[in-house]
Amino acid sequence: MAAMLPWFSAQPWNAASAHHGGRVAAQAVEAARSQVASLVGARKGEIYWTSGATEANNLAIKGVVEASVPAKRRVVTFAAEHKAVLDTVGWLGSTGIPVTVLPVERDGSISIQALEQSLSAGDVALVSLMAANNETGVLSDLAFVAELAHRFGALLHTDATQMVGRLPFDVRELRVDLASMSAHKLYGPKGVGALFVSNDLAIAPQIHGGGHERGLRSGTLNVPGIVGFGASADLAAGRMGAEAPRQAALIERFKAKLMRLIDGVELTAKGSRVLPNTLNIRLIGADAEAVMANAPSVAISSGSACTALTPEPSHVLRAMGMTDEEALECLRISVGCPTTEQDVETGAELIVGAVERVRSFN
């Protein structure tokens, strides 16, 4: 907030302007670009500003397809991806672009055999696989998938929104070609994101206008938001080493208390590697929305916040083989930098009480 405030008031300049104020704003934008690039192991010129990861996903997927030769335009993705990827791929399919949505396993992991079979056709332009699932926290082996995709001449895009700032994420080590991210997942401002595009890669712009962002994404830059993104990237880099194990311990404490006090608790991604701050559980015999209503002071969810207004079971959990009834009994719990041990203790007790009340109604 301290980094952003001057750009709302004393320094309200347009970073594209040629006057002195514009040049000062442009310098701030480039400094933030360096900060975000450093966080993900990229070069400064490989970071492009967007309004968030949803726009970054659209730009990456549509941009690659549009820039590809007609004989090699198929997009491969997975059934547990974020809607920002699935809906983009679905729209491409409606326009005649060949798309393949592969299933995932019961633990949320992908089938390498199915992916390799899809790639073997030789017409795949892009594979899109999230770094970490936003509902279950399941982590992907991006380096292995990148090697496989490149072997068949395909690019790899990853929606890295959930991982960047929480765990080490290096585009060079992982060999990803494009990566989407959002500032608000790092405690930065909402409404600003970025897309990493590997230097040797040309993709087609999806927003046309004044030629901002080296022609890839036109539109007046959100200078306060971008500066805030840069500041949050620096803060995340500094605290990640301590926060990841601390948050993992909090999640373990929460899970242990819940399972000690009530029966019928199942882990939805059992056996998979997951984010340190995320837990997805099924409370057998207790509707998740009813549990949330009976514990209103606990900020938990029954799925992604991006689809919370859609009254249907999580598409991620259904992709993992759950029935609608099972999926509706699942809660997503996450902790963060402000979360304390007392928060975890109190939250678990409130959820236990809510589950007992909901089950008593059945």
Residues involved in catalysis: 306
How far is residue 335 from each of residues 7, 243, 273, 275, 340, measured CA to CA in Å?
31, 10, 17, 11, 9
How far is residue 308 from each of residues 16, 190, 270, 286, 305, measured CA to CA in Å?
37, 17, 24, 18, 5
Name the DSSP class of 159: E
> Angle, nearest 10°, between helix axes 53-67 and 83-94?
30
- Residues 6+ positions from 201 with CB-CB distance below 8 Å: 155, 177, 178
Closest CA to 140 of 132, 151, 149: 132
Sheet with 47-50, side-by-side order of all strands: 47-50, 193-197, 178-182, 155-159, 124-128, 74-78, 99-102
Distance CA 69, CA 344 (A): 52
Alpha helix ranges (H) inside the chain: 20-40, 53-67, 83-94, 112-119, 142-151, 171-174, 223-261, 288-293, 315-319, 324-327, 341-361
Provide the residue type at 175 as one letter: R
Distance CA 44, CA 170 (A): 14
Distance CA 254, CA 230 (A): 32
Name the DSSP class of 184: G
Distance CA 101, CA 62 (A): 16
Provide the residue type at 321 as one letter: G
Distance CA 260, CA 329 (A): 19
Distance CA 351, CA 80 (A): 26
